[in-house]
């Protein structure tokens, strides 16, 4: 596997279009054709993490925070951060950044926060966009209609509200002329074949498109599958930053603060509000979430769980009647184990023989098994399962803040 192939998999986990505008994501350091055998996930590329990456022979370092998030005119090797970047370049280690696209992804960092806190059926707190939708129409012989319908539905097509596997099916006749070199499922080479087919139509969210097409191609019997893809003007599911929902068990602010410290592995947290205040509805916002204070209050949250809340932000929360639990920015450390696990799962899927994302460099169309039409073209890199790739989580990732002494003064 090379960096280009790894990036393709990472973009399935956290689509780049989910990132906020001007957020620096993607390949920050290195080259796309660099071979990859060892991948490490970390919150950020601190000097300690870089040393660990070099010691462990890492080829690709995947981080949440860009190593050059703040614009700079210089990289000085007489400073620890500059030396770390220089060492990565010298060792040809690639660095890939998943920032707000990882925050806003399905099963992303905010969903990790919501699960650890115990939110029931959480909604998006700050909607930043809506998922694009496609209409998929595939032409299937009647003998394989049910198999294709089931496969694409199981892969995520056909969701309308709380209904799945929603399709519309129209019988018809497809024609094709198999040319020399073809291996037709129906008919013979050198003659026009008419086949009883069903036009199977369904709706597919952009985030499931690759998986749906793979599932369709895996069970469709034709050598050349004819299908159409149409972008839709319909609005898809909202996505964005933060989550809000009811706690599984109502509790006091103090009890929730203790739970947050335990579930996130924190030395301590700061709170805004009466420790004995009951809380039932909570919002979470990964990273620096002071901007979410008015949003959480407007959505009826009793408490906001986030990091980097400043003094005046706390006063705003008080004025709005919103409690706050501030666990610090390093609560985002759960980025590394979560996304490492998701990446391992995609690698296992590929190594199990399932192909990579189909190329969509055009809109395949047509009917039946016509040679040269309706093809899903794949490159060698897309069809080949990656060779064994080790995926590890950085151990040197540490919170720069420590809790030392709690004052006993009133």
- Does one domain contain both 140 and 281? no
Distance separating alpha carbons of residues 17 and 100, to the nearest angstrom = 10
- Does one domain contain both 165 and 69? no
Q: Is residue 88 part of a domain?
A: yes
- Per the annotation, binding residues are 64-65, 103, 329, 332
- Does one domain contain both 115 and 246? yes
**pLDDT given at position 283:** 99
Q: Is residue 212 part of a domain?
A: yes
Name the domain count of the chain: 3
Q: Is residue 349 part of a domain?
A: no
- Does one domain contain both 53 and 116? no
- Does one domain contain both 139 and 207? yes
**pLDDT given at position 389:** 95
93: domain CATH number is 3.40.1390.30
Bridge pairing between strands 94-97 and 60-65: parallel
**pLDDT given at position 40:** 99
Closest by CA to 285, choosing from 111, 97, 105, is: 111
Any alpha helices (H) in 130-240, and if so which ranges?
145-154, 209-219
Any alpha helices (H) in 223-284, and if so which ranges?
253-264
- Using the predicted structure, report yes or no on whether residue 361 has a pLDDT greater than 50: no
**pLDDT given at position 408:** 58
Q: In sequence order, what are the beta bridge partners of 65? A: 44
Domain that holds residue 305: 109-128+241-334
Residue range 278-310, pLDDT digits in tens = 999 999 999 999 999 999 999 999 999 999 999
- Does one domain contain both 41 and 188? no
- Does one domain contain both 117 and 252? yes
- Using the predicted structure, report yes or no on whether residue 319 has a pLDDT greater than 50: yes
What percentage of the chain exceeds 70 in pLDDT? Answer: 90
Banded model confidence at residue 64, pLDDT cuts 50, 70, 90: very high
Q: Is residue 142 part of a domain?
A: yes
Average confidence (pLDDT) over 40-59: 98
Q: Residue 373: how many CB atoms within 10 A of its CB?
A: 14
- Does one domain contain both 250 and 277? yes
Sign of CA dihedral 346, 348, 349, 353: positive
Residue range 178-220, pLDDT digits in tens = 998 889 988 899 999 999 999 999 999 998 998 899 999 999 9
Per DSSP, 173 falls in state E
Phi, psi for residue 250 in degrees, rounded to 5? -60, 145
- Does one domain contain both 283 and 206? no
Rounded to a whole number of angstroms, the distance between the first and last alpha carbons of the chain is 59
Q: What crossing angle do the helices spanning 335-351 and 109-117 adopt, rounded to 10°?
A: 120
**pLDDT given at position 81:** 93
- Does one domain contain both 209 and 255? no
- Using the predicted structure, report yes or no on whether residue 377 has a pLDDT greater than 70: no
363: domain CATH number is 3.30.70.120
The structure tokens listed for 181 are 């070199």
- Per the annotation, binding residues for a divalent metal cation are 64-65, 103, 329, 332
| CB neighbour burial string for 137-171, b if at least 16 within 10 angstroms, e if fewer | bbbbbeebbeebbebbbebbbbbeeeeeeebeeee
Residues 6+ apart with CB under 8 A from 211: 155, 156
Q: Is residue 340 part of a domain?
A: no
Contact 228, 134 (CB under 8 A): no
Q: Please, what is the average pLDDT of the chain?
A: 90
Contact 127, 239 (CB under 8 A): yes
- Does one domain contain both 122 and 186? no
What percentage of the chain exceeds 90 in pLDDT? Answer: 82
Q: Is residue 16 part of a domain?
A: yes
Closest by CA to 240, choosing from 10, 19, 14, is: 19
Q: Is residue 369 part of a domain?
A: yes
Contact 32, 2 (CB under 8 A): yes
Residue range 231-260, pLDDT digits in tens = 999 999 999 999 999 999 999 999 999 999
Q: Is residue 339 part of a domain?
A: no
The structure tokens listed for 206 are 């952009």
- Does one domain contain both 140 and 232? yes
**pLDDT given at position 72:** 83
**pLDDT given at position 207:** 86
Q: What is the value of pTM for the model shown?
A: 0.83
């Amino acid at each position: 596997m090379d960096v280009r192939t790894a990036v393709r998999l990472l973009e399935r986990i956290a689509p780049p279009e989910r990132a906020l505008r001007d957020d620096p994501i993607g390949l920050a350091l290195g080259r796309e054709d660099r071979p990859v055998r060892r991948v490490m996930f970390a919150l950020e590329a601190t000097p300690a993490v870089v040393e660990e990456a070099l010691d462990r022979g890492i080829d690709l370092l995947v981080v949440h925070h860009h190593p050059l998030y703040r614009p700079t005119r210089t990289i000085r090797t007489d400073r620890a951060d500059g030396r770390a970047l220089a060492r990565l370049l010298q060792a040809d280690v690639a660095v890939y950044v998943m920032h707000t696209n990882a925050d806003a992804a399905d099963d992303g960092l905010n969903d990790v926060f919501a699960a650890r806190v115990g939110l029931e059926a959480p909604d998006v707190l700050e909607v930043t966009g809506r998922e694009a939708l496609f209409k998929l129409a595939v032409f299937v012989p009647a003998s394989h209609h049910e198999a294709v319908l089931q496969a694409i539905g199981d892969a995520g097509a056909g969701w309308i509200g709380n209904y799945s596997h929603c399709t519309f099916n129209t019988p018809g006749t497809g024609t094709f002329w198999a040319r020399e070199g073809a291996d037709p499922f129906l008919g013979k080479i050198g003659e026009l074949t008419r086949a009883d087919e069903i036009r199977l139509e369904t709706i597919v969210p952009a985030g499931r498109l690759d998986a749906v097409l793979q599932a369709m191609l895996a069970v469709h019997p034709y050598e050349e599958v004819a299908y159409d893809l149409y972008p839709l003007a319909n609005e898809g599911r909202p996505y964005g930053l933060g989550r809000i929902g009811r706690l599984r068990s109502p509790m006091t602010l103090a009890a929730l603060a203790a739970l947050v410290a335990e579930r996130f592995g924190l030395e301590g947290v700061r709170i805004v509000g009466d420790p004995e205040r009951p809380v039932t509805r909570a919002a979470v916002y990964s990273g620096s979430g002071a901007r979410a204070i008015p949003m959480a209050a407007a959505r009826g949250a009793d408490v906001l769980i986030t990091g980097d809340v400043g003094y005046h932000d706390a006063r705003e929360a008080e004025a709005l009647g919103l409690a706050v639990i501030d666990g610090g920015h390093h609560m985002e450390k759960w980025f590394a184990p979560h996304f490492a696990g998701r990446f391992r799962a995609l690698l296992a899927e590929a190594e199990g023989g399932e192909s990579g994302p189909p190329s969509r460099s055009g809109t395949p169309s047509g009917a039946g098994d016509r040679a040269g039409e309706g093809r899903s073209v794949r490159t060698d890199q897309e069809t080949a399962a990656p060779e064994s790739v080790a995926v590890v989580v950085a151990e040197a990732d540490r919170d720069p803040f420590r809790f030392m002494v709690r004052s006993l003064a009133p």
